[in-house]
Chain A
Amino acid sequence: MMNTGLKRFSAVAFFSALLLLAIILSTGIGAMSISPAQVVAILLSKIGIHLPVEYNEGTAAVLWMIRLPRVVLGVIIGAGLAIAGAALQGLFRNPLADPGLIGVSSGASLTAVMLIVLQSSFPFLTDNHLLQFYVMNIVTFGGAIIAVLLVFRISLRNGQAVMSTMLLAGIAINALCNAITGLMTYISTNEQLRSIVFWLMGSLGGASWQTVLAVLPFVLIPLILLPRIAQALNVYALGEREAMHSGVKVGRLKTQLIIFATMAVAAGVAVAGVIGFVGLVVPHIVRQITGPDNRILIPCSALLGAVLLTVSDLLCRTIAAPAEIPVGIVTAIIGTPFFIWLILKEKKSLAI
């Protein structure tokens, strides 16, 4: 029997090592190949450590300006999606909950698609690319927040969110958003349709240090604050009433979880579109390894979510190079078989 502290440390160490490996690999692989040693040397040179590895300045520039922002964006968004999934699975006390459930993705999609279709009526938007970029992010983020607020508001009873109502409200709001998104898609022009499809399937193609900085705080804040409410979330697994009896301020806990989960997902959706499956699959996989304790589950989910999205993005830009496959397709193709394997394994262990 392994001691809990040691078990925790080794789980975090394992997932961190995995992430480091994923970052070095995917930074190096691409149209211009950079060896792992060169990647490490270039990165370390930025903080003043010079390794005896040869590389030219052009390689360093490609790595620094093109590859790295994209990899880092993948790391941040992957981590955000995964911790949001872990938080919501805790909130709904159901391992099958997913950020899509409370309306984040459909709300964001709706506003993003509306903007793509309707912006031709606002020429000042299409003239200025930087403005267009910011407006797109803000509108998408706003759409996500409004959808979640609506779902949350409908589910309130005596100032507390009722989870079963919230689930139904989520289904209703998702259906409405999808219907209007469908309408927008229907009236779009061919060119608009391409960008809609691309956006709905997710892509890290728009990465720059600017987008990294725009997304970072929205993921960093939940990443720091969620582990602080992790033990309360563990107790919440016993049931709402039991948690209250044990001293958990249940109403506040639920509100915090919804805010953190929305933050962690919405900013990522705003810059990279809808990327499914990471939020569902990653906490599930981590739980198989570490057990259900949220104090360890949340940080490890962040790490594995980052790995999954980084590797998926690596595949999506290399498999059919120079063309790119939308990353949401890749996460689903990698994630689904793994998920099915998990379900089968669980079925087996329950059948004793």
Chain B
Amino acid sequence: MMLEVEKLTVELGGRPILHNLDLTAGTGELCVLMGANGEGKSTLLRALAGEYPGYKGRIAMAGKDLRNTSIKEQAQQRAVLSQQLSLHLPFTVEEVVMMGRFVYTGTHANDKEMVQYAMKQLQVFDLRDRSFLTLSGGQKQRVQMARVLAQVLEVPDINGMDYAGKKILLLDEPVTGMDILHQQLSLQLATQLAQQGVLVVAVLHDFQLTAAYAQRVWLLKHGRVFSEGGVRQVFTPVNIEACFGIAVHVLDHPGVSYPLVVTAAGQHPIHLPTAAQAIKSF
């Protein structure tokens, strides 16, 4: 197994966010973490990214315990796209993408080619001399994607080698802020990486994107995996209502090969408290 998580418990500020969570994923899978806000998706991803050294339980990647893996080894094995980015200095797009190659400093001769390749894949090559600060939110996100792609690559071509058992890519809401075309392009890229053997774990909020691209879905609730499996197994009205508190229909459409999740709020209206009720509840 490429990724093994056993009895993972993470407490933040004395509150358990993840609670005895177990999961495994194989090499070359594209897995998606879903769940309502605050159910532990990002915490799980960050635990896998090595950000909580105080976790209880076991996390192993390619058979090696995370606790025994140095920062450098982790960075060579695993790239992470995190949610908020606070870059306030006017680095150019190319400089930002080149930062993805930091961990290989002095070991790869063709860093520059890989950076150019990554920029072309995310369609930011024409922006390469622009200051990162002048980009739009979606463009910034694509540049960050290019940076983590550059960190994963070993040769300047995704299809150039087999990454099975070597690389993990963690993406926390990777397509937030992107237009519909670039959302699709980014997830196609993730699929392509998975086909070359990279294990991709992504947090997504969009049911359609998840249904279209995920091979395995984990639905999180109260810091545990509530439901796990293929899209059709996990995306049932019962599961989704249990996790998100909203009634949905799961439909098939002749034009697409995956199930569509549509809210059924029209039939079971969500009762928001009126102003008077809200005041009274104080």
Contacts and interface: CB of A to CB of B under 8 A. Distances in A.
B102 A235 contact: yes
Contacts of A287: 89
Interface in A116-170: 158
A292 B80 contact: no
B88 A94 contact: yes
> What band does the interface of chain B fall in when counting residues whose beta carbon is under 8 Å from A?
20 to 34
Nearest to A237: B89
B71 A248 contact: yes
Given A1-B129, A93-B86, A244 B91 contact: no
A235 B99 contact: yes
B82 A242 contact: yes
A245 B89 contact: no
Contact of A239 (B54, B79, B86, B95): B86
B88 A242 contact: no
B71 A238 contact: no
Nearest to B134: A352
> What band does the interface of chain A fall in when counting residues whose beta carbon is under 8 Å from B?
20 to 34
A239 B49 CA distance: 14
Contacts of B54: 158
Contacts of A232: 102
Contacts of B91: 234, 237, 291-293
A245 B102 contact: no
Interface string A279-303: 0000000010001110000000000
Contacts of B115: none
B98 to A, nearest CB: 9
Nearest to A159: B53
Contacts of B99: 234-235, 238, 246
Interface in B75-93: 75-76, 78-80, 82, 84-92
A33 interface: no
A246 B75 contact: yes
B71 A249 contact: yes
A247 B89 contact: no
A195 interface: no
A231 B90 CA distance: 15
B49 A246 contact: no
A237 B87 contact: yes
B79 A245 contact: yes
Interface of A: 1, 93-95, 158, 231-232, 234-235, 237-239, 241-242, 244-249, 287, 291-293
28 contacts: A93-B86, A94-B88, A95-B88, A158-B53, A232-B102, A234-B91, A234-B95, A237-B91, A238-B87, A239-B82, A239-B84, A241-B80, A242-B85, A244-B51, A245-B74, A245-B75, A245-B78, A245-B82, A246-B75, A246-B100, A246-B102, A247-B74, A247-B75, A247-B102, A248-B71, A287-B89, A292-B89, A293-B95
